[in-house]
Amino acid sequence: PGKKVLIVYAHQEPKSFNGSLLKIAVEELTKQGCSVTVSDLYAMHLGGSPPMPQVVSVLWMLRDGPEMTVNRKNLSSFCKAGLLPLLTGSWKKAGTRFHFLSAQFPLFWFSMPAILKGWMDRVLVQGFAYDLSKSYDGGLLQDKLSLFSFTTGGTTEMYSKGGIGGDIRYVLWPMQHGIMHFCGLKVLEPHICYAPENVSVEKRKEMLSAWTQRLKTLWKEEPIDCSPEWYFK
């Protein structure tokens, strides 16, 4: 209870399987007494060019502690994202802490949808999420937890070591290690729903209740050992 949760969500359709997984997470975590914020990226039109106040408020959620360092590098990313006027205005507002960052999305091209990658590019900038010599276990967002929850078109067999897609962990490497761990976050086991389009309604219900069950004991989970061996051993 009292934990602050941020869920970045990337699916256009609320009635989708991803929409259902999101709804479950919001309901279950809220029930546990967490304060849950959802960034619905398509609804926020994050793909477009206008400045988005939501993105800025998310920045404040992400980082607690001392003010963010402004440097040439992150200034330029904020400018490119059209966020600078908003950001400077709210520079000194106290940031609320978040403890847990979760992403909910369908797997696109062995990766996250571009809109979600764009969120990562714009929000997790230098001086805020990492800095020179402040990365991985020394990243600026350390002591926070992250989790990737996603759906696939391919089946479990396809994403096994001998399968056509190779081990799903190869896909997780850039996201979990290259982004979250790089910024200092600890990584919980991913939550993957394989091929929801190709299974029976009963199986889909089962997958959804497995997610509910997992969320019930989420805070007791140990992070994975996010090292190259975890992915490629």
Residues that bind ligand FAD (CB under 6 A): 11, 16-18, 20, 106-110, 151-154, 196-197, 201, 204-205, 208
Residues 181-210 that bind Zn ion (CB under 5 A): 181
Among 21, 68, 83, 226, interactor with Zn ion by CB under 5 A: 226
Chain position whose Cβ is nearest to Zn ion:
226
- The piece of 27-35, 85-93, 202-210, 225-233 that touches Zn ion (CB under 5 A) is 225-233
Q: Compute the distance between CA of residue 163 and CA of residue 151 in angstroms, rounded to an integer.
A: 17
Amino acid at 53: P
| Of residues 95 and 184, the one with the C-beta less far from Zn ion | 184
Q: How far apart are the first and last CA of the chain?
A: 37
Strand partners, 179: none
| Of residues 55 and 103, the one with the C-beta less far from Zn ion | 103
Partner touching 3 among Zn ion, ligand FAD, none, CB below 5 to 8 Å by kind: none
Give me the least distance between CB of 166 and ligand FAD, in Å please: 11
Strand partners, 187: 146
29-35: long-range contacts, CB 8 A cutoff, minimum separation 24: 29/3, 29/5, 29/215, 29/218, 32/1, 32/3, 32/215, 32/216, 33/1, 33/2, 33/3, 34/1, 34/2, 34/3, 34/4, 34/5, 34/100, 35/2, 35/3, 35/4, 35/5
| Of residues 181 and 214, the one with the C-beta less far from Zn ion | 181
Give me the least distance between CB of 227 and Zn ion, in Å please: 6
| Of residues 107 and 172, the one with the C-beta less far from Zn ion | 172
Name the 3-class secondary structure at 210.
Answer: helix
- The piece of 51-59, 87-95, 139-147, 218-226 that touches Zn ion (CB under 5 A) is 218-226
Amino acid at 108: F
- What is the number of other CB atoms lying within 10 angstroms of the CB of residue 49? 8
24 is written with which tokens?
A: 């479950």
**143 to 182: interface string for Zn ion, x by CB under 5 A:** ----------------------------------x---x-
Interface residues with Zn ion (CB under 5 A)?
A: 177, 181, 226
